[in-house]
Structure formats: C-alpha cells, structure tokens
Chains A and B, each alone.
Chain A
Amino acid sequence: DSGVTQTPKHLITATGQRVTLRCSPRSGDLSVYWYQQSLDQGLQFLIQYYNGEERAKGNILERFSAQQFPDLHSELNLSSLELGDSALYFCASSVRPNTEAFFGQGTRLTVV
C-alpha cells in the first residue's frame, strides 16, 4: 500500500458527461500529480500541484481541470467526456517536487 488513496476505483459513464476523480496523498506529501494511462497513448503526465498551487502542466486537455484543496487532497474534473477519454487515471504524491512519487491504484474510467 503506497498510502495514496484514489476514489472511485471504477467509473462508467456516458459520452458528454462530467466526472470527478479524487485523490488523497500520503500523509505529509505536499505535491500531487495526475497521470492518464491508455493503451494508445501510454502513460501521460497531466498536471501537478504543490501545496495548493499548480506547479507543472503536461498533456492536459482543456476539458480537464484539477485543483488541490487546503487539506491537500486533489480532484481531477473531466468534462464533455469522449470515448477516447477511457483510461486509467493515476494520482501520485511526493513530499516536494523532484522527489520520488508514490502512486495510487488508479481510477479506471470507461466512457460508453
């Protein structure tokens, strides 16, 4: 167990809908990262927050947004969902940027 908790584990939703994925980092970790893993794109870094502020941005679509709250948990919001958004979404946390990250078990999103 990495100490990073992601909910829900599985999510099935229809195209055009909006979902929110939640991540609770390890105790003491200030950085949270979001990744998308799909068969055709591999593992893609989406976005990183550090102590509530955006710290780095990767290949995140405009339909997606994220935030980190004062209690350091983070949410990834995916809207206007398309079939191609079906993927495994991972959250990771680290004490600070550029240190090792610990990954949650992921949320498997299926868009039908």
Chain B
Amino acid sequence: AQSVTQLDSHVSVSEGTPVLLRCNYSSSYSPSLFWYVQHPNKGLQLLLKYTSAATLVKGINGFEAEFKKSETSFHLTKPSAHMSDAAEYFCVVSSLGGYQKVTFGTGTKLQVIP
C-alpha cells in the first residue's frame, strides 16, 4: 500500500521566520517524492523532487527537503518565509511496481503573517 500524510492542514508563520511543512509517506517500492505548490486559482508548480540521489534536495524559491528513509519523512523547509510563499503545498509520492501509483497528500495551507 502507498500513502502520504501531511501532518498539518494549516501552518501559520511570521514573515522572515522558518517554515516547516511535514510529510510522511509509506510505499512498498522505492518511491520518488515531490513537493508541489498551488497559489490561489493557479495550477500546481513543482518545488522540488527526490528520486534516489542526494537525500537533501534543494528546490526553487529557497525551499529544500530532506528524505529520511528511517523516518519515512520528506519534510519541506525554508529558512525565512516571504509573503509570496503563502499558498497550498502538496507532498506527492510516486512509485513503480509494475504499475505506477501516484498519491497526493491532502495539502498544507501556509499562511504568512506580515
């Protein structure tokens, strides 16, 4: 079975403070993991991806995520939040086991307070 759990449905941070969006996954196969961002009334944009190379992955707009196999986690972080980071973030797991399976998390809405 494959699943993704985004531990927080809403996260609120002050501008300039660190961001942590948590994601745990389970997969029977070696997964690829992604974080996507969706701004209001927009499509989804890829932030970063993990595909079995370096465990610390750097993405766009200063975001990064660390793949921790022992903890089955792929948390998204950013050292300093910007107002433009306010959006919904989705953690995604994709695995190939003869038949590809793609699972989205339920999303985390990030609010940035000025």
The answer to whether B104 and A105 have CB atoms under 8 Å apart is no
Chain B interface residue count, CB cutoff 8 Å, equals 22
Set of chain A residues within 8 Å of B46, measured between Cβ atoms: 100-102
Q: Is B26 an interface residue (CB 8 A)?
A: no
Set of chain B residues within 8 Å of A106, measured between Cβ atoms: 43
The answer to whether A2 and B43 have CB atoms under 8 Å apart is yes
Q: Is B20 an interface residue (CB 8 A)?
A: no
Q: Is A44 an interface residue (CB 8 A)?
A: yes
Contact size range, A: 20 to 34
The answer to whether B44 and A103 have CB atoms under 8 Å apart is yes
The answer to whether B100 and A98 have CB atoms under 8 Å apart is yes
Main secondary structure on A side of the interface with B = strand
The docked-state distance in angstroms from the alpha carbon of A76 to that of B107 is 24
At the interface with chain A, which of B64-72, B76-84, B90-98? Answer: B90-98
What are the interface flags for B36-64 relative to A under an 8 Å C-beta threshold, 1 for contact and 0 otherwise? Answer: 10000011111001010000000000000
Set of chain B residues within 8 Å of A45, measured between Cβ atoms: 102-104
Q: Is A42 an interface residue (CB 8 A)?
A: yes
Please give 9 more A-B residue pairs, beta carbons under 8 A apart, in addition to A48-B100, A97-B96, A98-B96. A2-B43, A43-B107, A45-B104, A48-B102, A56-B101, A98-B94, A98-B95, A100-B49, A103-B36
A residues in contact (CB < 8 Å) with B? 2, 33, 35, 42-45, 48, 55-56, 58, 90, 92, 97-106
B residues in contact (CB < 8 Å) with A? 32, 34, 36, 42-46, 49, 51, 90, 94-96, 99-104, 106-107
